[in-house]
Amino acid sequence: MRAQQVTGPEVFHGEGPVWHHGWGGLRFVDMLAGDVMTLRADGGLDRKHVGSVAAVVRPRVGGGAVVGVERGFALEEPDGTITTLPELWGTTDVRMNEGGCDPDGRMYCGSMAYDQTPGAAKLFRLDPDRSTSVVLEGVTVSNGLEWSPDGTLAYYDDTPTGEIAVFDYDRGRGLTNRRRFAALPDDGRPDGLTVDADGGVWAAAYGAGLVYGFSPDGRLVERVEVGAANTTACTFGGEALDQLFITTSKENADLDADPLAGCLFVAEVGVRGRPVRPFAG
C-alpha cells in the first residue's frame, strides 16, 4: 500500500496531525518553526505562529486549541488569542515533542533533549484547572501517545526503545503496568501513532518512509509506503475518518535524494479512526 502526496514540501518538521470537525478538518505542526498548520479545502496550508516550538495541537471542548510549546503549554481561545502558560522548566536544552488527550480530557505532552540525551526527558500532564504534573520520568524521546477506543489502554513510544509500549489506564491511577505492545520491524524507530476505531495501532517509522499497522493484539498487519523517509506521525481524518494522514520532515534529510520530505501524505487503509478526544480546559 502506498500513500499519496497531498501538499508540496512546505514544512520543515511536520508532526502531530489531528482531524477535528470543529476546525473544519486537519491541523498539524511545523514543530521547529513554531507554527500550527491548517489544511485548506483547496489543498493549501495556512500557518499560525505560536512560539519557538509548536510540539502538538489538540482541540478544546469550548473551542480553540491547546498547544505544546517549547517548555510547556499554550491555550488558543475561540477568537484565536494565544495565552502561554507558565514554563515547566527553565533550561534551554530540553523541548516538548508530542502528546495527546486522555479519555478524561487531560492533555499530555512529552519532552526530549535537543541532543537526545538518554533519560533527560519527561511526560507531563495538563489538567483542565491548568495544574500540571509529571507522569513519566527517565524518557529519551517522548513520542506517540493515544488511547484505545474504550479508554482502558494507552499506547506510547519512547523512540530509541524501538517499540510501542502499552499501559493500563484509569482516571485515578493514570498510566500503570507498562509493557511491550509491539516492536517495529528492522530496528525501526517509532514516532507518532494513532489508534483506529477497531483498536488497531498505526505508527510512523522515522527514517524508514513507512507507517506500520498493528492489530489490537500487537501483530503486524499492514505496511504503508510513504514517499519521504522521515515519516513522523499519522492520524485518521476526512469526513468519515477513513483516510490516514501522514506528516513528514526535512530534518537531517538529503533533499536531493528525498525531494518530498516535508510533504503531507494520505492513504486509504480500509479502516476508520475515531473522533479526537478534546482537552476539557
Binding-site members for substrate are 95, 97, 115
Residue numbers belonging to the annotated binding site:
15, 95, 97, 115, 143, 191
CA distance 34 to 124: 19
Strand order in the sheet with 4-5: 4-5, 265-267, 243-248, 231-237
- Integer angstrom CA distances of residue 50 from 56, 107, 218, 221, 234: 11, 17, 37, 38, 22
Burial class (CB in 10 A: 0-12, 13-18, 19+), 90: exposed
Spell out the SS3 assignment of 152-208: CEEEEEEHHHCEEEEEEEECCCEEEEEEEEEECHHHCEEEEEEECCCCCEEEEEECC
Binding residues for a divalent metal cation, as ranges, are: 15, 143, 191
Would you state the cell numbers that stand for residue 275, as one nine-digit string? Answer: 473522533
**Which residues are annotated as catalytic?**
191
Judge contact between 53 and 36, C-beta under 8 A. Answer: no
Cell numbers linked to 39: 489544511
User: In terms of DSSP bridges, do strands 243-248 and 231-237 run parallel, antiparallel, or are they unpaired?
Assistant: antiparallel
Other Cβ atoms within 10 Å of 215 Cβ, number: 14
Q: Which residues contact 43 (CB under 8 A, 6 or more apart)?
A: 6, 7
